[in-house]
Amino acid sequence: MRYLRTLAVTWLSACSLVAIAGQPQAAAPAAEPEKFFTEQVRPILEKRCWECHGQDVQESSLRLDSQQGLTAGGSSGRSLTNVAQPDESYLWEVLQHGGSVAMPPDDKLPDSELTVLHEWIKLGLPWPGASSPSAVPATREERYALQRQQHWALQKISDPALPPVQNAQWVAQPLDYYILARLESHGLTPSLPADRRTLIRRLKFDLLGLPPTIDEVQAFVNDTSADAYEKLVERYLASPHYGERWGRHWLDVARYADTRGYAFDRERRYPYAYTYRDYVIRAFNEDLPYDQFILQQLAADQLCSEPNDPNLAALGFLTVGRKFNNRHLDIDDQIDAVGRGVLGLTISCARCHDHKYDPIPTEDYYSLYGVFASSKEPDEFPIIGDPTQTPGYAEFKQELDRRQAELDNFVETKRDEIAQAARRHAADYLARAITRESEESLILQPFIGLKGEEFKPRLVQRWREQLVRTAKADHPVLGPLYELALIPDEEYTTKAPTVLERWQAVVTGTEPGQLNPHVKEALQREPPHTKLDLARVYGQLLSSLYLQQQEASPAATESPSAAATAAAPFDTATVQVVEILTGPSGLTDIALSETRSLLTRADGNTYRELERKVQSFQVDSPGSPPRAMVIREDDKPHNPHVFIRGDHARPGKEVPRQFLLALAGFERKPFEQGSGRLELARLIASPDNPLTARVIANRIWMHHFSMPLVSTPSDFGTRSDPPVQADLLDHLATCLIQHKWSLKSLHRTILSSSTYRQASLTRAECAAVDPENMLYWRMNPHRLEFEPMRDAMLAVASQLDLTSGGRPAELTKEPFSLRRAVYGYIDRQDLPGLFRVFDVASPDQSCPARSRTTVPQQALFVMNSPFAMECAKQVVARTEIVSVAEVHPRIEAIYRLVFARSPSAEELRVGEEFIAAASQETAPEGHPDAWQQYAQLLLMSNAFLFVD
Amino acid sequence: MPSPRPQLPITRRELLRRAGTGLGMLGMAGLLADAGYLDQMVAAEEGYRNPLAPREPHFPAKAKHVIHLFMNGGPSHVDTFDPKPALEKYAGQNLPMENLRTERKTGAAFPSPYKFGKYGESGIEVSEIFAQTAQHIDDIAVIRSMQAEVPNHEPSLLLMNCGASVQVRPSVGSWLTYGLGTDNQNLPGFIAMCPGGYPIQETQNWQAAFLPGVYQGTYIDTRHEEVEKLVENIKNPALSLEQQRRQLDALAALNQLHSQQRGHDPALESRIHSFELAYRMQLEATDAFDVSREPKEVLDAYGPGVQARQILIARRLVERGVRFVQVWHGAGQPWDNHDDLEVNHRNLAGQCDKAIGALLSDLKRLGLLDETLVIWGGEFGRTPTVELPQAGANAGKINGRDHNHYGFTVWLAGGGVKGGQVYGATDEFGFKAVVDPVPVHDLHATIMKLMGFDHTRLTYRFAGRDFRLTDVFGNVVDQLIA
């Protein structure tokens, strides 16, 4: 059953829905009150009531999540279970929205739900399980404590005792005991060892994702030394192609892609995602201990001392996910990748409410949220390694600087334009800052000069704040404005003249307490009758003096930066007024960094275009040095609040940043260092963590046997089935930890077992007992995934380019890259049809295991694609083929290339017949001839695609 | 050499056990007998072999296929299916209500430049630009009270297609092919056609998300007319069908040898079989996409142009058993008329109105309308007020409408829909749905019901949760169902 579930999640789900379809629509309430309650009533209560009348919140002191709560009632003092007639029940009254209290508060429940509740009330509000409360934990905490004690995956890992077996000489590794004991207890025997040809093909695809050559096969077959197999294992584990194969398995978990997702007209590509991919490949090749691997992926920024440490690229694990243009969802993606990918826990389920099954309160989700929300991607990713080592770096840098300067100049020009416009039309901003006039009426004022997008609403707030800071009663320029603006609107006409009169009597000058002569003159000439008028008079004064000054000495006023240095030929009074506009932190001192948000739509488009020119160049230029997609801690860590129902607009209680209750227990302590991300990483990568080692051991096993021990590789929660071979899993996890988290040593353990080396042929007597091979009485034959299939096609055609690392290559568009598939460009927004058709992992979420579907589009690819045709052509173009003229030996030669063996007599006959028939027609120039057609059908064959 | 007949590679026990997991075995057996050929024999043991084999929904339903005519960009409801004479009264003036906040600023009332007329026995009013479609109004249920969540294309497209505006969730077509499989194994089960490139948000509109990749929509660029450019790898560029037959026969012989040595593993058998399916798919797809095989009167009825062609292809596809066909108006967002609305909406409707009318007639003529749910609409509607000019946005013109998610129109026809009715209403001016609002989740729940599913029970377990199209929302609008 497990086999089925992993291989055909789809099918099972589809089946279960059909199964449901066969059942009656609803449980008959009276006959099956329990079913009626759990299937129909409880979901309504949960959906509609518990948010306010449940465990966390008890509005009106009412709880509706237990029978006791119902009986007790709420602050109304009316019990809800005291019912004689349903229609008279208080509960019903409230639900009807008839009386003073109406629930739910917004809308009445839909009729369908009311009908159910009415029925429930009529039955006397039965609450199954209520009679034996001891069976069910009363509180959330009790349930969690119980699950922590009981759920298999949360128990400490220890190496289980070896079970006794009869056929002890079969055992090659301790792990074989667990397998063999179970086989024997079912009366089964393991299969014979696979022959060497089968074994080397299995091993090389398994470890390297590549087909063995005929020479390799023959050397292994002829190697008579006792440790021939072990030597082979070592050789493959030491190959640089091992990391390409196993790194790809991890990239499935890490939802790796080279693009951010939908980006409208911005740069979609992640220029440096490849550095994470290469980091992963290198980590596998170097056998970086798995605990270090996890630590680096979660907190390399805090572990690397050098700013250009290549290991910084590890943080790509947190940053290569889809970007949603929504910070909360970006963080959710990080929590999910860590949760399911590393811990095998569906933590994201606790985003809107407590986890429904696992001991993960919603608070824990937000504790982790706080950790990840306390770090951000920097504006610019750090270069890793020595950039001058990148060929073409100097030219790259020059051109990049030129493009960057173009962008910077544009921003500066626009900033100055915006600032100048605001200075020339100071009244426009003052009017908005100090009056409460509506936009509609302001637009009609003749003095308003800025039209449409020229006016920047975002600047108004700055003017307000600036005025609050500078305008004081004794300010020689702003004093009158300050006093007049403070008069309530309706009293302005009566009170303003007195104020103005008083100011006219103040001594002129530029010292505090005096009145600037320009201001005095302006207010005398045009005493403002309204606040709007006040804004106009002041604004026009500011603008006119600014313009005067600018005409006389443009440099002094052109830009805020120049103002300080230029000599001022003006009197102090003028300078004092103008500086209110242009001085440092004056009303129009706009920072370059805020310019972008002030651009018009058209300028915004230009900005994005220039920005994209910079970014695309970094992506495309071969001289662009590699950078790490890091995150960095904020100076001040984020104090997380629970978002009620996951809605960030509804923050609930504050929670500490700390580790999961499920793993750290009730005695856990909040994190202390910064965001706590490093502390979190250490707790995850700890040998005491019961999940981390089990989860990765299960993944490793899954890839060796095409079948996991735990059928849900990214969910070890309470809904996962305990593995049949739980002892084996714990043994593997123990081995891993004992061997200092070396994955290669775990491979060795598994590969040298007798279990792994079994033949894959089916055996009727075993299939009758265990058709899905849950007991491992044979090796599972399996189909190659997309990457090894494609790479093998290129390999047998001698076309495969084995260069490692670097920028992604285009696999699906001509000219096809000949690099290994792991280096293929993955656009998550437009995943090539080919990848989907062949079940390549979706890069949108961490992928526990790939689907395995068989659909005709897969066949069409090998039958018709230019790629497949080209591979076939190249196979027969090889000298060892071309040099053989006779049909029979040529078929032999092709078999040696494609299958690394000779054909059987029947295979030979099929080949000869095909060549004879196909050769009767002459292929038009450039069309595939009989041999090419033949080579292609061999590439299409099951013998090529399946591994025994 | 004859093409091989794969043996039925499973034991009775295995068969029953799998049935025990929930498959209605009798139903499946009946289906096998009906079809009477290999594909379904293989489908019977299904375990992990053919995820697209046809399956029964939760309860019997009329609709078996969907054609979704997607007017991407947001067609204006007040200019098409939701007449608002009150706008005339305020033409050029502010409405007596505050303009609702949309993506951009809008100003005065902007009465529709088009005439509306009453059609059919139901007398439902439709704009002159959809006069041909309107001939079928008695088969159409016009939902005038649709509501989306925000006035922006990207989230609204995702909401309309996948039921969630930001997160990555499977599309409606993916859910339905997952739930129902597809009737014709020689064609993809879910096809999304869009001439000239992708709509905004691209392939996410027909994504399978966490469902297996086979349920993703297959994209077809209908700008092309040659079938090999339409469907990836559908035709060998060099080999004739005869040559390919010979190749496949030799392949089958080799695969049989391979299989015999391995005790007929179902995984091997199903791959063998997939080549036969692929071979047939080449023929069938070529046929399905080649509208030139239609009689002249049919071609004339649909009219000229790419819209007509792809709408006709849609009919040919459902006729051949494709489960879900989405017909997008064009790359980008053609219906997004922030300016020059009068000219543009007339043009756009002109490109598809005749063909939509022909499609409805045609489906009826072929007896397919009852089992084909036709959906027309965009991701939202447009404001009844004019969009104010903005440099860089609408070229400073004052003759278009902004996005409007508060109220808009979608119509349904065929497939068990109760036609000839208007459901729900927007306010006097068409700004907001005020009578019987239908959020997109409710539309989805209703589509599911029409296809035979309880939307709360068609679920898929991923990452520890049982996901469904409508998330925790959705109420079926029963009045829309006949």
pLDDT tens, residue by residue, B408-444: 999 999 999 999 999 999 999 999 999 999 999 999 9
Interchain pair B232, A10: CB under 8 A: no
Q: Which of B52, B188, B253 sits opposite A910 (nearest CB)?
A: B253
CB atoms within 10 A of CB A769: 12
* Dihedral class, residue A741 (left if φ above 0, else alpha if ψ from -120 to 50, else beta): left
Specify whether the CB–CB gap between B144 and B451 falls below 8 A: no
Q: Which of B55, B198, B465 sits opposite A349 (nearest CB)?
A: B465
What tokens were used for A531?
């606040």
Backbone angles phi, psi at B386, to 5 degrees: -80, 145
- Kindly identify which residue of chain A lies nearest to residue B272, measuring between CA atoms: A942
* DSSP annotation of A588: T
Tell me the pLDDT tens digit for each residue of B143-177: 999 999 999 999 999 999 999 998 889 999 999 99
In the prediction, which pLDDT does A670 show?
A: 97
Interchain pair B202, A829: CB under 8 A: yes
B393 touches chain A (CB under 8 A): yes
- Picking from B232, B259, B454 by the largest number of A CB atoms within 10 A of its own CB, the best residue to mutate is B232
Q: How confident is the model at residue B289 (pLDDT cuts 50, 70, 90)?
A: very high
Q: What distance in Å separates residue A672's CA from the closest CA in chain B? A: 30
Interchain pair A762, B237: CB under 8 A: no
Residues 330-359 of chain B with CB under 8 A from chain A are none
Backbone angles phi, psi at A821, to 5 degrees: -60, -30
> How many helices (H) does chain A have, and how many strands (E)?
46, 6
Instruction: Name the nearest CA neighbour of B424 among B445, B404, B441, B410.
Output: B410
Q: Which of B13, B47, B203 sits opposite A4 (nearest CB)?
A: B47
For residues B412 and B31, the model is more confident at: B412
| HSE-up (13 A, CA, CB side) for residue B197 | 7
Which positions in chain A touch B457 (Cβ < 8 Å)? Answer: 17, 20
Specify whether the CB–CB gap between A505 and A481 falls below 8 A: no
Q: Which of A21, A856, A933 sits opposite B56 (nearest CB)?
A: A21
Distances (CA, A) of A301 to A309, A436, A600, A640: 9, 50, 38, 22
Judge whether residue B103 has pLDDT over 60: yes
How far apart CA A348 and CA A551 sit, in angstroms, is: 63
Specify whether the CB–CB gap between A546 and A423 falls below 8 A: yes
Please list, residue by residue across B218-240, b when 16 or more beta carbons sit within 10 angstroms of its beta carbon and e when fewer do: bbbebbeeebbebbbbbbbebbe
Interchain pair B167, A324: CB under 8 A: yes
Backbone angles phi, psi at B202, to 5 degrees: 50, -140
- Kindly identify which residue of chain A lies nearest to residue B461, measuring between CA atoms: A13
Specify whether the CB–CB gap between A469 and A586 falls below 8 A: no
Instruction: Give the A:B interface size as CB pairs under 8 Å.
Output: 291
Those residues whose C-beta lies under 8 Å from the C-beta of residue A12, and which sit 6 or more positions away, are A4, A5, B21, B22
B422 touches chain A (CB under 8 A): no
Q: Return the bridge partners of B106, or none.
A: B387
A453 touches chain B (CB under 8 A): yes
Mean pLDDT of B123-143: 98
Those residues whose C-beta lies under 8 Å from the C-beta of residue A124, and which sit 6 or more positions away, are A81, A83
How far apart CA A800 and CA A793 sit, in angstroms, is: 8
In the prediction, which pLDDT does A466 show?
A: 82
CB atoms within 10 A of CB A467: 18
Specify whether the CB–CB gap between B297 and B312 falls below 8 A: no
Identify the segments of chain A with pLDDT beneath 70: 1-30, 75, 77, 81-84, 129-138, 554-569
Q: By three-state DSSP, how is residue A613 classified?
A: helix
In the prediction, which pLDDT does A30 show?
A: 67
B197 touches chain A (CB under 8 A): no
Which positions in chain A touch B185 (Cβ < 8 Å)? Answer: 856
Report the 3 state secondary structure along A839-894: CCCCCCCCCCCCCCCCCHHHHHHHHHCHHHHHHHHHHHHCHHHHCCCCHHHHHHHH
How far apart CA A387 and CA B407 sit, in angstroms, is: 56
User: Is residue A929 classed exposed, middle or buried when 0-12, 13-18 and 19+ CB atoms within 10 A define those classes?
Assistant: middle
Q: How confident is the model at residue B392 (pLDDT cuts 50, 70, 90)?
A: low
Question: What type of residue sits at position B448?
Answer: M
Judge whether residue B17 has pLDDT over 80: no
How far apart CA A324 and CA A844 sit, in angstroms, is: 11
Peptide bond into B295 cis (omega under 30): no
In the prediction, which pLDDT does B9 show?
A: 29
CB atoms within 10 A of CB A108: 14
How far apart CA A855 and CA B216 sit, in angstroms, is: 13
CB atoms within 10 A of CB A187: 9
Q: By three-state DSSP, how is residue A555 classified?
A: helix
CB atoms within 10 A of CB A112: 11
In the prediction, which pLDDT does B395 show?
A: 66
Instruction: Name the nearest CA neighbour of B161 among B405, B444, B457.
Output: B444
For residues B7 and B194, the model is more confident at: B194
Mean predicted lDDT score pLDDT of chain B: 87
Specify whether the CB–CB gap between B356 and B70 falls below 8 A: no
Q: Which of A110, A264, A842 sits opposite B210 (nearest CB)?
A: A842
Q: What distance in Å separates residue B288's CA from the closest CA in chain A? A: 16
How far apart CA A274 and CA A808 sit, in angstroms, is: 7
| HSE-up (13 A, CA, CB side) for residue B368 | 22
Specify whether the CB–CB gap between A600 and A606 falls below 8 A: no
Mean pLDDT of B89-100: 92
Residues 698-717 of chain A with CB under 8 A from chain B are 714-715, 717
In the prediction, which pLDDT does A137 show?
A: 66
In the prediction, which pLDDT does A298 show?
A: 98
How far apart CA B463 and CA A746 sit, in angstroms, is: 27
Q: By three-state DSSP, how is residue B37 classified?
A: coil
Distances (CA, A) of A922 to A413, A875, A915, A927, B100: 70, 20, 12, 9, 72
Interchain pair A833, B219: CB under 8 A: yes
Which positions in chain B touch A16 (Cβ < 8 Å)? Answer: 21-22
Q: Element (H or E) spanning B297, and its range? A: helix B296-302
B274 touches chain A (CB under 8 A): yes
Which positions in chain B touch A928 (Cβ < 8 Å)? Answer: 238-239
What tokens were used for A51?
């948010």
Mean pLDDT of B276-299: 92
Instruction: Name the nearest CA neighbour of A578 among A547, A551, A554.
Output: A547
Specify whether the CB–CB gap between B130 and B140 falls below 8 A: no
Backbone angles phi, psi at B219, to 5 degrees: -85, 135
In the prediction, which pLDDT does B50 show?
A: 72
* Dihedral class, residue A71 (left if φ above 0, else alpha if ψ from -120 to 50, else beta): alpha
In the prediction, which pLDDT does A555 show?
A: 60
**β pairing state of A946-947 and A782-783:** antiparallel
How far apart CA B234 and CA B213 sit, in angstroms, is: 19
Those residues whose C-beta lies under 8 Å from the C-beta of residue B169, and which sit 6 or more positions away, are B158, B162, B163, B209, B467, B469, B471
Specify whether the CB–CB gap between B402 and B102 falls below 8 A: yes
Those residues whose C-beta lies under 8 Å from the C-beta of residue B307, and which sit 6 or more positions away, are B195, B329, B351, B352, B355
Report the 3 state secondary structure along A104-172: CCCCCCCHHHHHHHHHHHHCCCCCCCCCCHHHCCCCHHHHHHHHHHHCHHHCCCCCCCCCCCCCHHHCC
Q: Which of B246, B268, B391 sits opposite A942 (nearest CB)?
A: B268
Instruction: Name the nearest CA neighbour of A536 among A471, A420, A448.
Output: A448
Q: By three-state DSSP, how is residue A809 classified?
A: strand
Kindly tell me the sign of the dihedral angle through the C-alpha atoms of A152, A153, A159, A164. Answer: positive
Q: By three-state DSSP, how is residue A24 classified?
A: coil
Q: Which of B14, B259, B281 sits opposite A860 (nearest CB)?
A: B281
* Dihedral class, residue A177 (left if φ above 0, else alpha if ψ from -120 to 50, else beta): alpha
What tokens were used for A847?
């992928």
In the prediction, which pLDDT does A23 show?
A: 33
Q: Which of B267, B391, B461 sits opposite A601 (nearest CB)?
A: B391
CB atoms within 10 A of CB A925: 5
Those residues whose C-beta lies under 8 Å from the C-beta of residue A763, and which sit 6 or more positions away, are A191, A777, A778
